[in-house]
Amino acid sequence: MTVAGIGVAGFACADALMQLGARITVVDAGDGERQREKAEILRTLEATVLLGYDGGVPDGTDLLVVSPGLRPSSPIIVDAVQSGIPVWGELELAWRLRDPETAAAWLCVTGTNGKTTTTLMLESILGAAGYRTCAAGNIGTSLVDVVMHERMDVIAIEVGAPQLPFVASVSPVASVCLNIADDHIDHFGSFDAYVAAKSGIYERTQEAVVYNVQDARTLRMVEDADVIEGCRAIGFTLGVPGLSMVGVVDDLLVDRAFVEDRADAAQELASVHDVHPFAPHNVANALAAAALARAFGVPPSAVREGLRAFEPAEHRIANAGTVDGVVFVDDSKATNAHAARTSLSAYDSIVWIAGGMAKGQEFDDLVVSAAQQLRGVVLLGVDRRVISDALSRHAPDVPVIDVATTETGAMVEAVRAAMSLAVPGDTVLLAPGCASWDMFRDYSDRGQQFADAVASLPGFVPPASGVA
């Protein structure tokens, strides 16, 4: 067997297969310190490891397990497909490694934005109901590790689009696609291919396929899905819910999907004020999580308790402090234009810090929607010109400061530049709209450098809480 990729998912897959007695070759295009450290560990376990590898399938391969970072057009994947060699992703391998006698139920979450928040909300709700549970998958905890080493009743699984092309038999109890917007275009080659990959979340779902009433594409994905007989379509909406929906009535989250008399009644689940940080898109995330949990049989009281106990992920609309009446907000997890647009919509007067790896996106619609709120913009990263050009076209009067350096200290320069543009009452918002890998280890590293830079400003006042 060959495992392609030596990151979190690839390492876990290789380790699990070797524990089961398989002979493994691990390949990775990188050859840096991180790859070499992991390679040394795998070699002590008698795996063959090839770093700096960019070829086809190694001789003798009868199964290729691929990490989500590999594009479907990668030579090794193309060679495997053309040679008739099965290709599995981490999800498929984890599903097949489950013990059929003790296997946990799977509840799967995807979407362009909101995946991590919804998955963590779902984990909190399931825990409040008394289940042995955890959040795993794209969220950073290897699903293979959980399946191999943990005894769970149910798993809340975050699924990124790159994990979905090579899934053949996964059958979750319930699944949701929260929304669809431009992202990962460079990975898939086109928006249509990206949507097609996302659609895989619904395949073979057993009890409930949950869709966003405000995003018609998610409904079309549900309608086209090949699900298990008896599976129901459940909508979530920020408005009053119709039949087989969850939604909002008089500041209450309510259920008209999983109650007996849903034609004439609704079950209260929680108050919108139980959702934090409070924002319309977070209420939508909470509704989606509630729908998945209710499909699994969680009682209404656990939804309220779980939402109240929920701890938001770091670097997601986090208050980083105040300086001379200017509030600094860390939304480093806004790694695409759709997420940045949602973040920008929450504030009235903004100095926006943006840029990074654009992943093939365009920013014209975002700039048009936010132009009236922008006091100024600070740009950094390899693709900052894409955003700069959109600003020139649609917001030419907004001051823009370009941070050209990519060296250590670039975020400090960006934060100081933003402070020079802001006035008391403004929000300096880090919502990059781009991936972080050109300059930072990941979005968490980017957010931490932002927070550290803010804390270094004269007159810094730390936040009373982590929520903006």
Residues 67 and 210 in one domain: no
Residues 77 and 177 in one domain: no
Domain assignment present for 146:
yes
pLDDT for the residue numbered 466 = 43
Residues 190 and 304 in one domain: yes
Domain assignment present for 32:
yes
Residues 93-116 have a mean pLDDT of: 93
Residues 20-31 have a mean pLDDT of: 93
Q: Are 364 and 388 in contact (CB under 8 A)?
A: no
How does the average pLDDT of the chain come out, rounded?
92
Q: Which of 91, 128, 127 is nearest to 109 (CA)?
A: 91
Give 27-31's long-range contacts (Cβ < 8 A, gap of 24+): 27/2, 27/3, 27/51, 27/53, 27/58, 27/76, 28/4, 28/52, 28/53, 29/53, 29/54, 30/6
**Last residue of one domain, picked from the residues 88, 120, 137:** 88
- Residue 264 pLDDT > 60: yes
Residues 356 and 415 in one domain: yes
Virtual torsion, Cα 122, 215, 357, 313, nearest 10 deg: -20
The Cα–Cα gap between 293 and 286 comes to 10
Residues 381 and 432 in one domain: yes
Quick count: other Cβ atoms within 10 Å of Cβ 59? 7
pLDDT for the residue numbered 281 = 87
Domain assignment present for 236:
yes
Residues 150 and 299 in one domain: yes
Show the 3-state SS of 291-314: HHHHHCCCCHHHHHHHHHHCCCCC
Q: Are 103 and 171 in contact (CB under 8 A)?
A: no
Q: Are strands 318-323 and 326-330 parallel, antiparallel or unpaired?
A: antiparallel
**Last residue of one domain, picked from the residues 88, 112, 134:** 88
pLDDT single digits (tens) 400-447: 999 998 887 899 999 999 999 999 999 999 999 998 988 998 888 999
Residues 79 and 99 in one domain: no
pLDDT for the residue numbered 43 = 94
Domain assignment present for 465:
no
pLDDT for the residue numbered 333 = 87
The Cα–Cα gap between 28 and 23 comes to 17
Domain assignment present for 462:
no
Question: Domain range holding 78?
Answer: 2-88
Residue 265 burial (10 A CB sphere; 0-12, 13-18, 19+): exposed
Residues 156 and 72 in one domain: no
Residue 61 exposure: Cα atoms within 13 Å on the Cβ side: 26
Residues 135 and 66 in one domain: no
Residues 104 and 248 in one domain: yes
Enumerate residues 6+ apart whose C-beta is below 8 A from 13. Answer: 3, 65, 67, 90, 93, 144
Could you tell me the pLDDT band of residue 467, with boundaries at 50, 70 and 90? very low
The Cα–Cα gap between 268 and 389 comes to 48
pTM for the full predicted model: 0.76
pLDDT single digits (tens) 149-199: 899 999 999 998 888 889 999 999 999 999 998 666 777 888 888 899 899
Domain assignment present for 226:
yes
Kindly report the CATH number assigned to the domain that includes residue 284. 3.40.1190.10
Q: Which of 366, 401, 371 is nearest to 384 (CA)?
A: 401
pLDDT for the residue numbered 26 = 96
Count of domains observed in the chain: 3
Q: Are strands 208-212 and 174-177 parallel, antiparallel or unpaired?
A: parallel
pLDDT for the residue numbered 446 = 94
The Cα–Cα gap between 264 and 260 comes to 10
Kindly report the CATH number assigned to the domain that includes residue 18. 3.40.50.720
**Last residue of one domain, picked from the residues 309, 335, 363:** 309
pLDDT for the residue numbered 442 = 85
Residues 196 and 275 in one domain: yes
Residues 341-362 have a mean pLDDT of: 91
Domain assignment present for 142:
yes
Domain assignment present for 463:
no
pLDDT for the residue numbered 71 = 85
Here the tokens at position 14 are 């290789």
Kindly report the CATH number assigned to the domain that includes residue 410. 3.90.190.20
Residues 79 and 119 in one domain: no
pLDDT single digits (tens) 131-143: 999 999 988 788 9
